[in-house]
Amino acid sequence: MRRLGLAALLALALACSGASRASTLKTDVTDFARYMRWGMIEKAAELVPSGRRVTFIAQKRSAQGNMVIHEYDIRAVEPDATGERARVLVEATWSRPNDPVMRTELMEQTWEWLDRHWQMVEQKPVESAAPTAPDQGL
């Protein structure tokens, strides 16, 4: 009977841990999006693995000189079955200085549970499936 009680307690602790990770994931993804939207690169870098932070900051600072981010919206947050990885889709709307054309880009991020917190480990553009010919897709 005592083993059953310990097993139930362990199962409850693991379930709470998973729920806590999911909640933390949403918070971290939201914070990252907000930091990127408002150009708070150093704060966003806190959610990137420590070995990549210097490069991340340098790349994003360089990009800030060539673009203005108008929106940075989270489109999907999809944790995997293990609760250790997640796929996040974000949509960024931006323009270049002195250019009124607004551009929108969909990006896929990979987040991992590392060192007891979530970190954005990869970001890549999502290829568009837009029609290439005027009558395609009609």
Residue 65 confidence (pLDDT) = 87
In a domain, 11, yes or no: no
Kindly report, residue by residue over 76-127, the tens digit of the pLDDT. 999 999 999 999 999 999 999 889 899 999 999 999 999 889 999 999 999 8
In a domain, 57, yes or no: yes
Query: What is the CATH number for 72?
Result: 3.10.450.50
- Domains in the chain, number: 1
Range list of H helices, the chain: 2-37, 41-45, 53-64
Residue range(s) defining the domain that contains residue 109:
20-125
Kindly report, residue by residue over 24-52, the tens digit of the pLDDT. 999 999 999 999 999 999 999 999 999 99
Of residues 12 and 83, which shows the higher confidence score? 83
Residue 20 confidence (pLDDT) = 85
Residue 40 in tokens: 């708070």
pTM to 2 decimals? Answer: 0.77
Residue 53 in tokens: 């932070």
DSSP secondary structure string for all residues of 66-106: T-EEEEEEEEEEEE-TTSSEEEEEEEEEEE-TT----EEEE
Contacts of 57 (CB under 8 A, 6+ apart): 41, 42, 45
In a domain, 114, yes or no: yes
In a domain, 14, yes or no: no
Of residues 15 and 97, which shows the higher confidence score? 97
In a domain, 131, yes or no: no
**With bands split at pLDDT 50, 70 and 90, how would you rate the model's confidence at 9?**
very low
Of residues 55 and 15, which shows the higher confidence score? 55
Residue 7 confidence (pLDDT) = 40
* Closest to 107 (Cα-Cα) out of 121, 129, 127, 79: 127
In a domain, 135, yes or no: no
Kindly report, residue by residue over 58-82, the tens digit of the pLDDT. 999 999 889 999 999 999 999 999 9
Residue 127 confidence (pLDDT) = 83
Residue 112 in tokens: 């991992």
In a domain, 8, yes or no: no
- Distance from C-alpha of 42 to C-alpha of 56, rounded to nearest angstrom: 9
In a domain, 12, yes or no: no
